[in-house]
């Protein structure tokens, strides 16, 4: 059963393990189309992707200055995304 919800994520530094502020997270593809949905991490590295359908698979572009990567995530209604950058 598909439902729509806001999904929480946290971005950490891969070198220090500390949360990263100001990281841009964008849905770039996946099971459902979501053009232009982006979020920015706060001072605790937390971001929210609002009103997306789950369960589903999404590709996320993670950008912070000159660092970037794309990840594939499989989300269900209880998912929380953890990203190391």
- The answer on pLDDT for 35 being more than 90 is no
Q: In terms of residue numbers, what domain contains 13?
A: 3-84
Task: Compute the distance between CA of residue 35 and CA of residue 47 in angstroms, rounded to an integer.
Answer: 17
Measuring CA to CA, which residue among 36, 33, 35, 27 is closest to residue 7?
27
Instruction: Count helices and strands (H / E) in the chain.
Output: 0, 7
Output the average pLDDT for the chain: 94
Residue 22, domain CATH: 2.60.40.10
pTM score, whole prediction: 0.92
pLDDT at 1: 85
Domain count along the chain: 1
Secondary structure of residue 72 in the 3-state scheme: strand
Classified as helix, coil or strand, 5 is strand
Grade residue 34 by pLDDT with cuts at 50, 70 and 90: confident
């Amino acid at each position: 059963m598909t439902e729509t919800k806001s999904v929480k994520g946290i971005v950490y530094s891969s070198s220090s393990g500390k949360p990263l502020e100001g990281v841009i997270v964008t849905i770039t593809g996946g099971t459902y189309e979501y053009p232009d949905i982006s979020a920015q991490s706060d001072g605790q590295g937390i971001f929210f992707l609002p009103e997306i359908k789950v369960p589903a698979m999404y590709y996320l572009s993670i950008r912070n200055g000159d660092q970037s990567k794309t990840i594939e995530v499989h989300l269900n209604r209880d998912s929380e995304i953890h990203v190391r950058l």
